Amino acid sequence: MVEAASILSSLGVAPSASADGEITVCSPIDGSLLGRVHADDAASVAAKIARAEAAFHEWSLVPAPRRGELIRLLGTELRAAKRALGLPSSAESANYRFRDPHSARVRRPHGLARSGAWPP
Q: What is the pLDDT of residues 16-66, one digit of tens each?
A: 777 788 999 888 888 888 888 889 999 999 999 999 999 999 999 999 999
Length of the chain: 120
Say yes or no: 95 and 117 in one domain. yes
- Would you state the pLDDT for residue 96? 44
Q: Looking at the structure, tell me whether residues 1 and 60 fall in a common domain.
A: no
Angle between helices 82-93 and 2-10 (to 10 degrees): 160
Is the whole model's pTM more than 0.95, yes or no? no
Output the CA–CA distances (angstroms, integers) from residue 38 to 14, 43, 103, in the order listed: 13, 14, 37
Supply the pLDDT for residue 95: 46
The domain tally of the chain equals 2
CB of 4 closer than 8 Å to CB of 15: no
What pLDDT score was predicted for residue 49?
A: 97
Cis amide prior to 65 (ω within 30 degrees): no
- Determine the 3-state secondary structure of 105 from DSSP: strand
Same-domain check for residues 2 and 58: no
Q: Are residues 35 and 92 in the same domain?
A: yes
Comparing 6 with 2, which gets the higher pLDDT? Answer: 6
Quick one: pLDDT at residue 68? Answer: 94
Per residue in 57-111, pLDDT (tens digit) is: 999 999 999 999 999 999 998 888 887 777 655 555 554 444 555 555 544 455 5
Separation CA 74–CA 76 (nearest Å):
5
Same domain for 94 and 74: no
Q: Which domain holds residue 12?
A: 1-39+85-120
pLDDT attached to residue 15: 78
